[in-house]
């Protein structure tokens, strides 16, 4: 009987300890569009009658959750316990790329997949990396890698494809430093995407 009483007291104390355990607040990060695009790298053609439709960004399962991922030197993919993204990366980047293309002011319209408009071209993409890379020497980088496809909407044929990568050093080896680096990386990829699409459509 006494042993049962002691066990009960132990369990009560254990539960009380768990109830008072506090955890750090979760930090939420996002990718914010930077207004630093310019058209000085390409010969701009007249795309004023072209409607471009941006399809949802595809990605592996790790990039379809709000987990803030980091990759170590053993290529293991893990996530920060108390940091996450405001939305899943594939959705954040879809909006980001669409707005970047709109800001180029080179098309009649840039519309999302759900639009009922008849687009001339489709832009499809696959997210291959969106994570914080931890290096052997103690440094780290924010890395974004995306493969893009321009498709003729009438014939459904692929007209052009490219893979854009941006690797930006992180000033801090934590989620905060990675978020800053990934914001810059997203800006780099979006800038290169704008020039690639404009140049590519101009040749079609």
Residue 155 scores a pLDDT above 90:
yes
Write out pLDDT tens, residues 53-107: 999 999 989 999 999 999 987 778 899 999 999 999 999 999 999 999 999 888 9
- d(Cα 126, Cα 73) in Å, to the nearest integer? 24
Q: Are 63 and 88 in contact (CB under 8 A)?
A: yes
Give the residue, 202 or 6, on which the prediction is more confident: 202
What is the per-residue pLDDT for 87? 97
Measured CA to CA, the distance from residue 149 to residue 97 in angstroms comes to 13
Q: What pLDDT shows up at residue 200?
A: 74
* Predicted structure pTM score: 0.83
> Could you tell me the domains of the chain?
45-203 (3.40.50.10610)
Interatomic CA distance for residues 155 and 144, integer angstroms: 31
pLDDT band at 42 (very low <50, low <70, confident <90, very high): very low
The predicted model gives 138-142 an average pLDDT of: 95
């Amino acid at each position: 009987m006494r042993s049962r009483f002691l066990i009960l007291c132990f369990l009560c104390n254990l539960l009380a300890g768990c109830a008072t355990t506090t955890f750090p607040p979760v930090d939420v990060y996002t990718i914010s569009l930077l207004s630093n695009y310019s058209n000085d790298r390409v010969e701009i053609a007249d795309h004023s009658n072209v409607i471009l439709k941006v399809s949802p960004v595809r990605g592996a399962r790790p990039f379809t959750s709000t987990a803030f991922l980091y990759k170590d030197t053993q290529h293991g993919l893990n996530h920060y316990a108390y940091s996450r993204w405001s939305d899943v990366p594939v959705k954040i980047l879809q909006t980001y790329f669409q707005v970047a293309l709109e800001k180029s002011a080179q098309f009649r319209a840039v519309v999302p997949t759900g639009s009922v408009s008849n687009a001339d071209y489709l832009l499809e993409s696959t997210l291959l990396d969106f994570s914080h890379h931890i290096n052997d020497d103690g440094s780290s980088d924010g890395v974004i890698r995306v493969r893009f496809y321009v498709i003729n909407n009438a014939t459904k044929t692929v007209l052009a494809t490219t893979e854009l990568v941006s690797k930006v050093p992180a000033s801090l080896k934590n989620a905060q430093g990675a978020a800053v680096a990934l914001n810059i990386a997203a800006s780099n990829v979006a800038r290169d995407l704008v020039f690639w699409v404009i140049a590519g459509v101009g040749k079609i």
